[in-house]
Chain A
Amino acid sequence: MGKVTPKSPLPIRIAALAICAGVGALLSRAVLAIPETESGLAPLVDANLEASGVKNAVTAVLLNFRGYDTLLEIAVLMLATIGVLSLSVTQKGTWDPIAAQADPVLSALARFLAPVMILVSGYLLWAGEHAPGGAFQAGSVVGAAGVLLALSGYARPAWISRFALRAAISVGFIVFIAVAIGEMIAGGLLLQYPADLAKTLMLLVETWLTVSIGAILVSLFIASASPAEELRMRSGGEG
């Protein structure tokens, strides 16, 4: 850190401590008072799991029972990325290499690891149907692969245009919305999957969500890392 953060005066720090302790005590008391017998919605989820089209309860809740929440959550992720891009000083944030000179060992390792990570993410995506996994986990692994490549000095390949990157960031939400509207046109309600197509449609949505979540995580990392990196270079690399 080049600059020392000024300390707040003692009374303010004591007051903050008192407020935190008070809220903490309140929370502990509230949590301890919850009766242990309450089981929430789990029995209801189990009873309807058959009808959801998938065998993993978490996936059934995320994509089907509360799919609307997930639709809005992918919007949150996309919105966060647009927000960070709009506020980043360079407004670039498009997968430019972060490390100026890459370590040859690191770059060789990244070359080896990236394809394996893509493979793992494909497995996680598929496994989500019946076991822990799904689009968010798979997308995180894709994102990690992208971050690794960027840190190892790999620039954005020329074939990925800026438009393609924007498309990757938004495709998950767009496909999700398109499926939702398609279901309405087919005679159902918003995000009401027809029983025979539920599994296929959910996998379609999850596949594109994986792409978007990966692209979003990479973009967030790079857009928010760039200014700090520039700052550090300007101040002589003492950070």
Chain B
Amino acid sequence: MTEWIMRQLPALVILVPFTAAPLAYLLGTKFGRPIALVSALLSQPLAVLLAMRVSREGALRYEVGGWGGPLGIDLVVDGVAAVMVLVTTVVGLFVTVYALGYFGDRERYRFFWPLWLFLWGSLLALFLSGDIFNLYVCLELVSMSAVALVGLTLRREALVAAMRYMLAAILGSLFYLLGVALIYGAFGSVDMQTLREVIRVDTTGQAALALMTVGLVLKTALFPLHFWLPPAHSNAPSPVSAVLSALVIKGSFYILVRLWVDVAQPAAFPGVSTVLGVLGATAIVWGSIQALRQERLKMLVAYSTVAQIGYLFLMFPLVTGGGPAAADAWMGGVFHAASHALAKSAMFLAAGTVLARFGHDRIEGLGGLSRRAPATAMTFGLAGVTMMGLPPSGGFVAKWQMIRASIESGQWWWAVVVVAGGLLAAAYVFKVVGPFFGREPEALDEADLDPGPSPWTMEGAALALALGSLVLGVLGQPLLDLIMVSAPALVTGVTP
């Protein structure tokens, strides 16, 4: 039995949410809630076992159908994939627990459970796929469930945001698909391992990579293609906002990284790496300034995501040159994706608790929150530590690695951006946290409407994620080691 589980691990990880999803749809709200919880709990040991197996044995290859690439489709689990699966599974558990309290057993939200389980399974399938066409199908699954979840409340603003999000997401997917078609036409394969050997940077290869990059950048909401993100992420129900900012945007980013660093060699395109890095730096500054200007909590958190996406893209110019800088940049980028996932989901869940309890999320009306909802105020503060990148948080480890990579590669200017971004983050975090721990507003209409504490599951789930982002900083080394397991040749300097 144990042997069977170990052998089937990559498939089992995906099958759990994908089995739960249709059952949750078929059986409705009453059963959907326990089904989602069971699926979330079952996923935990599987993700941990997968990570343990990868750190012990190196990258795993699972040949779906027994054919093997390029004829069949392979699931590939290297260190980065294992880390992303772990992060998705942990964030998924706490979002599920939170959603149980947030949606309750209200019949009008019955579609949340199947949609969320489908989204969960699709993200895992995406992180494990080793086939560029299969990745397209995964992207479609992720976008489709995410769009429906954004519009779940049927509120006017939410529907408008969902529509805009859908148009951007579909356009991005189609650009990606065009690139896949060109690659298959020119190089005769969609299997990443095969492509690594045969891909050429000729006219067709360039066009394909350009199309795929534009599509994926649009889906990741990198400045200036971030226009759809703030309305979609802030108008979605809060458990959905958390998943969108923590995990969904990282799905398309993950494909982009695999494509450039793993399949095509970015050394052939120093210009592209620089452009992505400059856009990332601009995103950090622009997103932070916009976050500072917001008056609603969820909008502030959404613009903070626009800024934090920027750090992910600093990875490209730092990895391109190879050497020790590439390894540090690789660890820093992936670690940032992980710690941001925990901290940002904690922030959105905390914002959702505030919104659900007081019926609004205007920052000026939330003074003195620490006395009325201490756990929620603390969640926001702790998650803020990671956003700012202060020790001992996960955000600190990530930024430290990036700064090291900048100095090692002689590109000190990226280090300046990282530090400046931390200061800007401090400004918008304190804009919120300061009043939380300050005086309550004078004319306090909201207090009269305060229906009392939120369910402990909601506050507890958000706090657990915020604490998780701190624990990452203290216990970061095992995770950094895992990220480097079977990393791409460019990063390790070793040709496999």
Chain A residues near B (Cβ < 8 Å): 26-27, 29-31, 33-35, 38-41, 44-45, 48, 64-69, 72-73, 75-76, 78-80, 82-83, 85-87, 89, 91, 163, 166-167, 169-170, 173-174, 177, 180-181, 184, 188-193
Contacts and interface: CB of A to CB of B under 8 A. Distances in A.
Contacts of A170: 22, 25-26
A177 B125 CA distance: 14
A15 B23 CA distance: 48
Given A72-B134, A82-B111, A189-B66, A30 B72 contact: no
B410 interface: no
Nearest to A75: B141
B136 to A, nearest CB: 9
A73 B382 CA distance: 40
Nearest to A44: B71
Given A87-B159, A191-B65, A167 B148 contact: no
B66 A192 contact: yes
B267 to A, nearest CB: 22
Given A31-B185, A39-B188, A180-B15, A72 B125 contact: yes
A75 B139 CA distance: 12
B125 A190 contact: no
A29 B144 contact: no
B111 A86 contact: yes
Interface string B244-259: 0000000000000000
Contact of B152 (A69, A86, A192): A86
Given A40-B188, A180-B15, A65 B71 contact: yes
Nearest to B8: A184
A69 B133 contact: yes
Contacts of B148: 79, 82-83, 86-87
Contacts of A180: 11, 15
B330 interface: no
A105 to B, nearest CB: 38
Interface in B173-225: 178, 182, 184-189, 202-204, 206-208, 210-211
24 contacts: A26-B207, A30-B204, A30-B207, A30-B208, A38-B186, A68-B65, A72-B122, A72-B137, A75-B141, A76-B137, A76-B141, A78-B25, A79-B118, A83-B115, A83-B147, A87-B162, A91-B108, A166-B25, A177-B19, A177-B22, A184-B8, A189-B65, A190-B15, A190-B65
B8 A68 contact: no
Interface of B: 8, 11, 15, 18-19, 21-23, 25-26, 62-67, 70-73, 108, 111, 114-115, 118, 121-122, 125, 133-134, 137-138, 140-141, 144-145, 147-148, 151-152, 154, 159, 162, 178, 182, 184-189, 202-204, 206-208, 210-211
Given A80-B144, A86-B148, A87-B154, A167 B26 contact: yes
Contacts of A87: 148, 151, 154, 159, 162
Contacts of A65: 65, 67, 71-72
B204 A34 contact: yes
Nearest to A169: B25
Prevailing SS type, chain B contact patch: helix
A39 B63 CA distance: 23
A69 B137 contact: yes
A188 B115 CA distance: 30
Contacts of B140: 76
Contacts of A181: 15, 19
A191 B64 contact: yes
Contacts of A89: 154
Contact of A29 (B111, B141, B203): B203
Given A33-B186, A73-B137, 19 more contacts: A33-B204, A35-B186, A38-B187, A38-B188, A48-B67, A68-B64, A68-B134, A69-B137, A72-B122, A72-B138, A75-B122, A76-B140, A76-B144, A87-B151, A87-B159, A166-B25, A177-B22, A181-B15, A189-B11
A85 B115 CA distance: 11
Prevailing SS type, chain A contact patch: helix
A67 B151 contact: no
A80 B146 CA distance: 11
> Which one of B19, B70, B71, B145 has the greatest number of beta carbons of chain A within 10 Å?
B71
Given A68-B64, A76-B141, A177-B22, A44 B185 contact: no
B176 to A, nearest CB: 14
> Which one of B125, B147, B207 has the greatest number of beta carbons of chain A within 10 Å?
B207
Contacts of A177: 15, 18-19, 22
A190 B11 contact: yes
A188 B66 contact: yes
B22 A41 contact: no
Nearest to A84: B148
Contact of A33 (B125, B151, B203): B203
Nearest to B136: A69
A79 B144 contact: yes
B65 A30 contact: no
Given A48-B71, A66-B73, A189-B11, A83 B144 contact: yes
Contacts of A34: 182, 185-186, 204
Given A69-B133, A79-B141, A41 B63 contact: no
Contacts of A169: 25
B211 to A, nearest CB: 8
Contacts of B204: 30-31, 33-34
A73 to B, nearest CB: 6
Nearest to A47: B71
A106 to B, nearest CB: 33
Nearest to A88: B154
B8 A41 contact: no
Contact of A82 (B114, B125, B186, B210): B114
A34 to B, nearest CB: 5
Nearest to B10: A190
A170 B25 CA distance: 8
A181 B63 CA distance: 15
A169 B144 CA distance: 17
B379 to A, nearest CB: 29
Nearest to A72: B137
Contacts of A67: 64-65
> Which one of A39, A166, A188 has the greatest number of beta carbons of chain B within 10 Å?
A166
